[in-house]
Structure 1
Amino acid sequence: MTEIFEAIRDFTETGGDVLLVIGCLIFFMWLLILERIVYINFTHKKLKNDLVAKWMARNERKSWNAEQIRQAYISRLSMQLNGTIPIIQSLVALCPLLGLMGTVTGMIEVFDVMAISGSGNARSMASGVSKATIPTMAGMVGALSGVFASTWLMRTSKSEKLHLQEAMPLQKDIA
């Protein structure tokens, strides 16, 4: 177990301080993604069933007022379903930007080494190059994983909204 922590520590030291920020950002993003997955699979299903039962218990489902009440129910549940998806999408967009910041700080270190020791010392420039490339890679990996997850969450959210609309028919739709 200590070997794993040492490997992580070495990796973050190789990538610089920006890599630690990227790691925290990716961790927070995936916490939000997992929260949405748990919400969709457990809480949303119960709320959806309760809402459909409440709608079906209504005596009057034909009028304009009933349609507006139905739309309000659907909108409220849809807002809860979307929850933190915009935040997740923002964090996905932030990952490559932080990776780019890591690239810039790593290249600044390379230029500092070149200014002090001259351009012929490749060994001293290597740490700056790794600090430039590792955060870029980490930002892109975080963004790609977040893009796939947020796309799935958005698709699931739209699908659930359509299922809710179909489960709550107006009486004029039935006839």
Structure 2
Amino acid sequence: MWRATDLLAYLATGGLVMLPLVLVSLLLWTLIFERLLLFRRLERGDPPLAELVRCWRAGLPLPPAAGLRSQLVRVLQAEVALPSALNRRLLDACALRLQAAIDRNLDQIRVLAAVAPLLGLLGTVTGMMATFDAIALFGSGNVRALAGGISEALITTQGGLLVSIPGVLASAVLSLRARRLQERLEETLVLFKRMV
């Protein structure tokens, strides 16, 4: 079991590169959890399309849900008296807003997941430079002096990969969920544009 002092000692062994690596990791996981919560809210509690059509045709209020389809139909219900051309434009504007909400931060997640191994590589280079400095200063006989630089190189490489691999996987999962939400949005948009 890791204690806080063990973790701090581990990070200190990695050198200065570990600070930006930790910051990248914190930002990456903050954005990932924010996306997961939003996608869950947009997917969960969204009534089936048939129920939304029935409510729309009968003029009934929608069930209380914050799902993707519900948001689109609520905007349309609020402005039902507009001419059909304006209703279509209103639907398009709402769909663009929802599309932007779905896509937000996905590129930043991909970039942060790609930056983490590069920071690990930077730490590898600085660690090897410290190793070569120790060799120049003490010769190759002083193992303790060599171990510090090698340890720094390995820990930063490990840290970069530990941040990057889950980040890349999470990015792929989020992209897949975003694509499914976009398809759901497009299906609802096309159907209701025909109905208005």
Residues 61 and 171 of structure 1 are in contact (CA less than 8 Å); yes or no, is this contact kept in structure 2?
Answer: no
Cross-structure match for 1:130: 151
1:132-147 correspondence to structure 2 within 5 Å:
132-147=153-168
Q: Quick check: which one's helix share is greater?
A: 1
Offset of residue 93 of structure 1: 1.2
Partner of 1:33: 32
Asked if the contact 1:95/1:142 (under 8 Å) is kept, the reply is yes
Q: Does 1:120 align with 2:141?
A: yes
**Partner amino acid for 1:54?**
V
Task: State how far apart, in whole Å, the 1-side matches of 2:89 and 2:4 are.
Answer: 56
Amino acid paired to 1:41: R
Alignment of 1:140-155 (within 5 A): 140-155=161-176
| Shift, 1:16, TM fit | 1.2
Superposition deviation, residue 73 in structure 1: 2.2
Closer/same/farther in 2, CA of residues 126 and 119 from structure 1, 3 Å limit? same
Which residue matches 2:123? 102
| Alpha-carbon offset, residue 160 of structure 1 | 0.5
Deviations 1:111-166 (A, max 9, x none): 11001001222221011101001111111121111111111111111100111222
Supply the RMSD in Å over aligned alpha carbons: 2.4
- TM-superposed deviation, 1:70: 3.1
In structure 2, what residue type is equivalent to 1:156?
Answer: R
What is the distance in 2 between the residues matched to 1:54 and 1:101? 50
Change (3 A) 1:61 1:78: farther
Mapped partners of 2:15, 2:97: distance in 1: 44
**What letter matches 2:111 in structure 1?**
S
TM-score, normalised via structure 2 length = 0.77
SS across alignment from 1:16: coil
SS of the residue corresponding to residue 3 of structure 2 reads: helix
Q: For residue 24 of structure 1, what is the aligned residue in structure 2?
A: 23
Q: Distance in 2 between matches of 1:56 and 1:161?
A: 21
Q: TM (normalized to structure 1)?
A: 0.85
Q: Which has the higher contact order (CA 8 A, sep 6+)?
A: 1
Is the Cα–Cα contact under 8 Å of residues 131 and 146 in structure 2 kept in the other structure? yes
Map 1:1-175 → 2, pairs under 5 A: 4-42=3-41, 46=66, 48=68, 49-55=70-76, 58=80, 66-168=87-189, 169-170=191-192, 172=194
Residue 108 and residue 54 in structure 1: after superposition, are their counterparts in 2 closer, same or farther (change >3 A)?
A: same
Query: What is the CA distance between 1:15 and its match in structure 2?
Result: 1.2
How many angstroms apart in 1 are the aligned matches of 2:42 and 2:74?
16
Give 1:67 shift.
4.5
